[in-house]
Amino acid sequence: MERCVSEFAKLPGIGRRTALRLVLKLLKQKPEEAHALAESLTALVDNVKYCSVCHNISDTDVCDICANPLRDHSTICVVENVRSVLSIEQTGAFRGLYHVLGGIISPMDGVGPSQLEIDPLVERVATGDVKEVIFALSPTMEGDTTNFYISRRLEGMPVRLTTLARGLSVGDDLEYADEVTLGRSIRARVDLKNKA
């Protein structure tokens, strides 16, 4: 039981007390339910890998998004992690491809460009088939640093570089917006007549 608690406690956001509660819950379940959990974890580790093209998770060498001929293969959306892919896919607003960096440049955390999937992105763009690269990284100093670094690496290539719009969220109260967000919202304002 102690070994199981220790393993659960290694997961992010789970301390020893939560791990103990999970183990005790598993012990109360029917054995076949606990075995199903163990089998699903084994299958996850054995069968899920990273797409050889975009580095998204997949159970095949090339993920379903990259293999889909109906997607726009001339547009690549650069994201930090797989969770970002899932979030964007839920909107249904993007029909291009992705490139998962596996993190962002963060010297404070010891993460440099060589630890990210930046070289494969540069290689994808260098083929000449990509017309636009959309940076969809977090609007933080680290995200902006990563955007800047990659844009410098892509300099001189015939590709359009864009970033997600930044500003006020729908439902935000103007008086609670910080100055940076409010300033970006004013600079990135849209024409009311063309608003869909």
Q: Which CA distances in Å does 107 have to 81, 101, 120?
A: 18, 16, 21
**Look-up of token digits 């440049």:** 105
Q: What percent of the chain has pLDDT over 90?
A: 80
The band of 165, judged by pLDDT with boundaries at 50, 70 and 90, is confident
Q: Is 181 found in the same domain as 158?
A: no
Q: Is 123 found in the same domain as 37?
A: no
Q: Is 158 found in the same domain as 74?
A: yes
For residue 55, tell me if it sits in a domain.
Answer: no
Find, among 109, 185, 99, the residue nearest to 147 by Cα.
99
For residue 41, tell me if it sits in a domain.
Answer: yes
Give the total number of structural domains in the chain.
3
Mean pLDDT of 141-153: 95
The runs of H, that is alpha helices, within the chain are 2-9, 16-28, 31-47, 64-67, 82-91, 118-126, 141-153, 179-187
The CATH number of residue 14's host domain is 1.10.8.420
The chain-wide mean pLDDT, for the chain, equals 91
pLDDT of 139: 85
Low-confidence winner among 4-13, 145-154, 179-188 (lowest mean pLDDT): 179-188
CB atoms within 10 A of CB 82: 15
Q: Is 116 found in the same domain as 173?
A: no
For residue 43, tell me if it sits in a domain.
Answer: yes
- To the question of pTM greater than 0.85 for the whole model, the response is no
CA dihedral 63, 115, 159, 95 (to 10 degrees): 30
Q: Which domain holds residue 22?
A: 2-47
